[in-house]
């Protein structure tokens, strides 16, 4: 019988072999891994949204320069 290659997981500085996890522990580990992926994806999307917002704000400022506005500048 072949031995499984250790799947080392480090949690709070302690190393565990995921091969020794029970069904519930594996489920919780998979939830954590999935949430890490989702957090990374959401951070990436947030960067895109911030850049997009900045671009639209820049375009709005340029559009306001092209047309004389009767708006009062507040400082």
* pLDDT bracket for residue 33 (50, 70, 90): very high
Give the pLDDT score at 9: 97
**Mean of pLDDT values over 10-39:** 98
Share of the chain above pLDDT 90, in %: 81
Tokens (6 digits) for 60: 């709005």
Task: Provide the mean pLDDT of the chain.
Answer: 93
Q: What is the rounded CA–CA span in Å between residue 33 and residue 49?
A: 24
Phi/psi for 53 (5° steps) reads: -60, -45
Give the pLDDT score at 69: 60
Among 3, 30, 36, 35, which Cα is nearest to 18's?
30
């Amino acid at each position: 019988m072949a031995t499984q290659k250790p799947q080392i997981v480090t949690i709070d500085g302690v190393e565990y072999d995921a091969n020794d996890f029970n069904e519930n522990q594996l489920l919780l580990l998979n939830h954590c891994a999935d949430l890490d992926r989702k957090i990374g994806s959401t951070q990436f999307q947030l960067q895109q949204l911030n850049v997009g917002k900045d671009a639209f704000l820049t375009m709005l400022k340029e559009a306001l320069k092209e047309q004389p506005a009767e708006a009062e500048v507040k400082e």
